[in-house]
Amino acid sequence: MTIAGNQGQNVYPFPDNYPDTSFPQPVPAPEVDPDDAGTLISVQYSYLWQPVLMAAVDQLRNPATWQGDHDDIILALDRATNLKDLLQIPVVIAPTPFWDDESDVEDSEPADMQPWYGQVSNPEAPAGELDFVESVALWFFTGIVALATFEVGGIAPAVVFHTTVEKFIILQKRGDAAQTIRFVIDGEDAKFVNTAPYSPGDIISTPLVTPVTGGDHTLMMIQTA
């Protein structure tokens, strides 16, 4: 029996609480794939909630959820399955290693959309022989700060990006351990900065100038011992 005065009070721990479906009637399905190019959002949640979330998403794999004919419903179910798969893939958000000005210091991109963070296996090699490989495996990101695992087994964290600017200043925050930062511009060593004289947390300012003028330039920063 339903009491009219209690309609709409289907909230725990209401004593006459009754189970309700997520979709009392079929709804129109989104017209794009869950990973369709355009505006995408990144969501973070505890991995302990993943089994519960996956069970909840299964409601979208119920044919009764969707409006449309047979083909429409099959397409919606396929896309819902794709969404369930996407929600189980970790996404690394990597902040840009450079700031154009004070208004865009929070720029970031998914790890597979940016080529800056990587590593070299031969950090002591001549500048023209460095083997930079794009990877975020040695990097950890907290807020807009990028932290690198110190050189392990000959592998050194590195950052590289391309620019048309010929004079610029690199700002780096000194970590807990002292190290040397090697700057390479257009395949030539530009500067070595020893962070030992600075205190942890200090901002180190390094002015750099490209060896030649005009055209595009490549800057690589390598964290060495």
pLDDT of residue 207: 92
Parallel, antiparallel or unpaired: strands 117-120 and 108-110: unpaired
- Into how many domains does the chain fold? 2
pLDDT value at residue 1: 38
At residue 61, the pLDDT reads: 94
CATH code assigned at 132 = 2.60.120
Q: Based on the domain organization, do 37 and 122 belong to the same domain?
A: no
CB 204 within 8 A of CB 195: yes
Picking from 65, 86, 107, the residue at the C-terminal end of a domain is 86
Q: Residue 175 has what pLDDT?
A: 79
pLDDT at 69: 95
Question: Is residue 98 located within the same domain as residue 133?
Answer: yes
In this structure, what token pair is assigned to residue 102?
């004070």
Last residue in a domain, options 36, 51, 86: 86
pLDDT by 10s per residue, the chain, length 225: 344 445 556 667 776 776 677 888 999 999 999 988 677 777 778 888 999 999 999 999 999 999 999 999 999 999 999 999 988 887 666 666 665 544 554 455 544 445 778 888 888 889 988 888 877 766 766 555 566 655 555 688 888 877 788 888 888 888 788 889 999 999 999 999 999 999 988 888 999 999 988 888 888 888 887
pTM assigned to the model: 0.52
The span from the CA of 145 to the CA of 188, in Å, is 27
Domain extent at residue 174: 93-224
Q: How far is CA 101 from CA 98, 123, 221, in A?
A: 9, 30, 20
